[in-house]
Amino acid sequence: MGSGPLVLLAPDKFKGSLSAPAVAAALARGISRHSPDADVRCVPVADGGDGMVEAFAAAGWKRVDVAAPGPTGEASTAVYAVRGETAVVELAAAVGLVKLPGGRLAPMVANTFGLGVVIAHALDGGAREIVLGLGGSASTDGGSGLLRALGLRLLDEQGRELTGDGDVAALLEQVVSVDRAGLHPAVSTASFTLACDVDNPLLGPAGAVAVYAPQKGATARQMVKLEAALSNWAAVLGTGYAEIGGAGAAGGTGFGVLAVLGAQVRSGIDVVLELLEFTALVEGAALVVTGEGSLDHQSMHGKAPVGVAAAAKTARVPVVAAVGRTLLSQGEIHAAGFADCYPLSDLEPDPARSIIAAAELLERIGERIAVEHL
């Protein structure tokens, strides 16, 4: 730890290239090369998607590994982070697209049961505040798998329990009622927060199926089935919950957790910064460096770098972005709160080479940031 100016490195991951801790480490090497006296501290962040648990583990939270079925039922291992009675659980790390065997999409079979297994493990371990990151989902099951793993029974018109094996649309279309009597006993005393950077409702043209099912591999015909299934699921659990912004997140997982577990939806990056105690960390800093793979117009809607910039601005600390590429104009970059933006594409225009050499390029960017801002 240097005796010079305090520099806080709070990047998100560079998707497909480097984890957030690796991005921060590369920037730190570059900054320290030019300014060896700088007090450089790494605080990698996430906005609720994949990489959220890594960010908390880097901040010293305990990593917990747990055996949990993947999105299509195969044996797998998931990880969550815990400190005291707070557990940070990441959907992507349990049942996300990255957990699909061989990367094969399975839009009608993938489900969230394994995520419920992870949450149950955290509750069994004494966690009573569950923060759930909802990015990177492989399924469109309305959170039904997660809820079944926590003890919710789905019943057909004869009152028989539906097992949930196979086609998720066929399952949800048959549900007539649910039995909450067997829910995990800690559910009634625990609080659930959805760390989410989308505000989609469950149904309709801006809903879980219309917006996200195609990237999970669903055909037009499958999308019709999934929408009908979620409509029935909403009728069973409560259509009011289906209209809440964020209910459509992660294939409707947001809806299921809102309706049954009483969750609240919050901006993913806001939750992360609060739990990492970012306000205290940034106090007295000379500079904050954040970033992500692509800084674009989507970044303006709750993505990590813009959340970090807002927090830094509140603390009256200048913030710059180190990114893989940017699609924003200089005016838009400044309007978003950044004093400057350093894209790797300025050093290496070829995207494939930039991804491969990201760590080396980030070191060079770190050095340049030190030259121009310290």
Q: Which residues of 322-338 are buried (b: 16+ CB within 10 A; e: fewer)?
A: bbbebebeeebbeebbb
pLDDT score recorded for residue 197: 80
**What are the structural domains, with CATH classification, of the chain?**
6-45+277-373 (3.40.50.10350), 52-268 (3.90.1510.10)
Spell out the residues 6+ positions from residue 170 whose beta carbon is closer than 8 angstroms to its own.
229
Using the 8-state DSSP alphabet, how is residue 61 labeled?
Answer: P
pLDDT score recorded for residue 48: 83
pLDDT digits (tens, 9 = 90+) for 23-55: 999 999 999 999 999 999 999 999 888 889 999
Average pLDDT over the chain reads 95
pLDDT score recorded for residue 1: 61
Collect the ranges in the chain with pLDDT lower than 50: none
Residue type for position 316: R
d(CA 258, CA 303): 22
pLDDT score recorded for residue 205: 97
Residue type for position 144: S
The model carries a pTM of: 0.93
d(CA 44, CA 55): 5
d(CA 86, CA 72): 28
Other C-beta atoms within 10 Å of 353: how many?
12
